[in-house]
Amino acid sequence: MYSPGYYEFCCRVKIVAGHQALEKIPGLLNDLNANKPLILADKGVTGAGLVKILSAAIENQIEIGSIEDDIPQDSDLKVVNHLANVYRDKGCDAIIAVGGGSVMDTAKGVNIVVSENADDLMKFSGAGTLKHQLKPLIAIPTTSGTGSEVTVAAVIADHQKNKKMLFTSYFLLPNAAVLDSRMTLTLPPFFTAMTAMDAMTHAIEAYTCLAKNPISDAHAIRAIAMISQNLLNVVKNPGDKNGRLALANAATLAGVAFSNSMVGMVHTLGHSVGAICHVPHGTCMSIFLPYALEYNFHKIESFIAEILFPLGGEDMYRSTPKNQRAEKVIELARKLNQDLFDATNGRHSRFLKEIKDREGRQMVPKDKLTEIAATALGDGSIFYNPEELDYDDCLMVLNAAWEGVPLDRSRIKKG
């Protein structure tokens, strides 16, 4: 049994989960001495009627300061400053963030500005610059993927300076994460697949990368099991409320796991593909996951093998010889991508070359792979990957993932 010589773990977010969890929010705010929240969302969230559901659940018991849904896909400094002014003008005393990663990051940015009574958010970028408790923040995820509701980080872009700033502090953790099945019920099957595979990657990388620790492991294993048992069924039956809630719980579990043990090369390569070709994050995650397991196989075979139990179930774990379990996990990761491809009528991409935008154009041309490989070397997650990754290694994996062929393991340089 693996045990690191030393590790740190922290998650002090209250989790409230259920089919009617939203109704608990007034009580949560009351416990935090707040009663006039600013609700932040994006157009997609309001368009899907999710803010209406939230409002209906809480407005009888609490006054809503304002509802703001003009948050772009990429969190933006100007938007953060604007929303901080709204918060002050309306006399709000808490923030409720409803949405995916961008809304959560924006809410965390707004919270810094209003809590520190600052005019320049960028003064607080980096690690450890926040020294005080912030205003109450309640996070309601509407995708089962990012885990932002339980993470210590926020990324805010200054589009004028073309710069992305990272903020990390335990004070950025929301006070509560509310997981309600109604919030993900309308998520289309393709997005459900993509975001849940993001959560699956969080859990698997948390379990297999350098900063793994026993508490993160426990969260990761449960997350993998819940996603494995529910994802395909929810994609085929989007109205399955129990399945939806299970996926929401799994994404939060995975978020807790990776927030404390970090992620590796799936994110290293995925972030770079996203930055250069604007491919959705979850799509990159699902494509690179089996390749990362193959690439790191010689260093983490025993950890990969242990994943077979939550991923394939007890019967499969028992019937697979010990020395074949890790290979079976890679096979299952590929099979899951294939099953999701079939269940979404081909919208869930299995390889880089088949990712298309709305107009049907290929999003990752092969000639971009060199640029992606070079960019990947600057991603922070590269530190946490079990095996070293240099430019040639990245390019080798990218080429295989583009073609959709398994990695030629004889070419992997083993450290």
Partner 1 sequence: MDDYRELKPRSKLFKKIYIAIMLWFVGRSIQAASRVDKDIKKEFDDFPEGFTFSLGVAPNGPYMVVGKDKQGKVKYLGWNRQGKRIDVDMKLKNIEAAFLLFTFQESTCRSSARNRLIVDGDVPTAAAIVRVIDMVEVYLLPKLIAKLAIRRYPSWSIMRTLIGRSRIYFRAILGY
d(CA 202, CA 32): 30
Residues 327 and 290: beta-carbon distance below 8 Å: no
Stretch that binds partner 1, among 95-103, 110-118, 186-194, 384-392 (CB under 8 A): 384-392
Does position 78 bind partner 1 by CB under 8 A? no
Does position 127 bind partner 1 by CB under 8 A? yes
d(CA 102, CA 40): 11
Residues 293 and 264: beta-carbon distance below 8 Å: no
Burial (CB < 10 A; 0-12, 13-18, 19+), residue 272, is: buried
> What is the per-residue binding string for partner 1 in 1-40, x denoting contact by CB under 8 A?
---xxxxx--------------------------------
Q: Which is nearer to partner 1, 301 or 354 (CB)?
A: 301
Q: Which is nearer to partner 1, 148 or 213 (CB)?
A: 213
Q: Which residues pair with 66 in a beta bridge?
A: 38
Does position 59 bind partner 1 by CB under 8 A? no
Does position 253 bind partner 1 by CB under 8 A? no
Stretch that binds partner 1, among 97-105, 149-157, 311-319, 377-385 (CB under 8 A): 377-385
Q: How many CB atoms lie within 10 A of CB 238?
A: 16
Does position 382 bind partner 1 by CB under 8 A? yes
Does position 371 bind partner 1 by CB under 8 A? no
d(CA 195, CA 144): 6
Q: Which is nearer to partner 1, 101 or 386 (CB)?
A: 386
Q: Among 20, 16, 109, which residue's Cα sits nearest to residue 58?
A: 20
State which H helix or E strand residue 59 sits in. none
Does position 321 bind partner 1 by CB under 8 A? no
Does position 209 bind partner 1 by CB under 8 A? yes
Q: Among 175, 215, 188, which residue's Cα sits nearest to residue 24?
A: 175
Under the rule (CB under 8 A), what is the footprint of partner 1?
4-8, 126-128, 166, 209-211, 262, 377-380, 382-384, 386-388, 413-415
